[in-house]
Amino acid sequence: MEPASNSAPINFVNSTLANKIYHVVKKGIIYQEYQPGARLVDQEIADRLCVSRTPVREAINRLAAEGLVLVLPRRGVFVMELSEKDIKEIYEVRESLEVLAIRLAIPVLSEENIQTLEEISSQYQTAMLTDDNLTCYDLDRQFHDQLVKASGNCLLIDMYKALSGKIQISRWKHCRDHERTEKSLLEHGLILQALQNRDADEAILRLREHIGTVKADLLKNGKPASS
């Protein structure tokens, strides 16, 4: 079928550039280089990255669709601030998705899946012992991403990815707490042991305990956006 004559051409250069800018700004939001509530000015970002405003705006629109920034007409674009209610809702949905992932993963769980999770856990322990908090933070994310990926359910994986940014924002400063990092490593170990045994009920129990303690620790430290 011939494309409609009035179809707008796709600018692949700008699309690729917008994707790169999206990842740069998203990383800045997650690592709180851009503080919660801070205003994002597209021209300032464009100047810093030596690009035009068009791909920056495309990147910001994508971040807005993921709920990482808030676009207010005539006021500007602001980094999302997560309230206590936001944290509760994020972790309720997160738990539901990861529980479903385990139920789907257990019947098809391969040795490769297990080995990947074991390797992530081993790297996490090494990073923790050297106080490499940034690496711990990323490996924590990888552990849960791999758990969801093992489900083999593409829609579930996509839904989890859509929530992932908010999960990462909520726990960034929290993950610089060595005590919490150590607890997470132990809790991951219990989940992994149950997965190795192909015990779905035990894995789900340990997962619920883990997510529950993370959420409780976040909320008890006061305003989640700065915890």
Domains of the chain: 12-79 (1.10.10.10), 84-226 (1.20.120.530)
List of residues 6+ apart from 15 with CB closer than 8 A: 58
Distance (Å, rounded) from C-alpha 109 to C-alpha 89?
A: 29
Question: Residue 70 forms beta bridges with which residues?
Answer: 78
Q: For the chain, what is the mean pLDDT?
A: 87
SS3 at position 70: strand
Q: Is residue 207 within 8 Å of 150, Cβ to Cβ?
A: no
Between helix 133-149 and helix 178-196 the angle, nearest 10°, is 30
Asked whether the predicted pLDDT for residue 208 surpasses 90, the reply is yes
CA angle, residues 98, 100, 103, in degrees to nearest 5: 115
Percent of the chain's residues with pLDDT above 70 = 89
pLDDT at 9: 45
Q: Is residue 66 within 8 Å of 53, Cβ to Cβ?
A: no
**What stretch of H or E contains 125?**
helix 111-129
Asked whether the predicted pLDDT for residue 124 surpasses 70, the reply is yes
Asked whether the predicted pLDDT for residue 13 surpasses 60, the reply is no
pLDDT at 3: 42
**Tens digits of residue pLDDT in 132-150:** 877 888 899 999 999 999 9
Better pLDDT: 132 or 126: 126
- Band (175; pLDDT cuts 50, 70, 90): low
Numbers of helices and strands, H then E, in the chain: 9, 3
Percent of the chain's residues with pLDDT above 90 = 60
List of residues 6+ apart from 88 with CB closer than 8 A: 215, 219
Cα dihedral sign, 216-125-108-165: positive
Question: Residue 77 forms beta bridges with which residues?
Answer: 40, 71
- Band (226; pLDDT cuts 50, 70, 90): very low
Which DSSP symbol is given to 223?
S
Name which of 24, 18, 11 is nearest 51 in CA terms.
18
pLDDT at 227: 33
Place of tokens 């989640």: 224
- Band (224; pLDDT cuts 50, 70, 90): very low
Asked whether the predicted pLDDT for residue 157 surpasses 80, the reply is yes
List of residues 6+ apart from 184 with CB closer than 8 A: 140, 175, 210, 214
Question: At residue 52, what is the residue type?
Answer: S
pTM for the whole structure:
0.78
Name which of 99, 54, 100, 89 is nearest 166 in CA terms.
89
Distance (Å, rounded) from C-alpha 43 to C-alpha 60?
A: 12
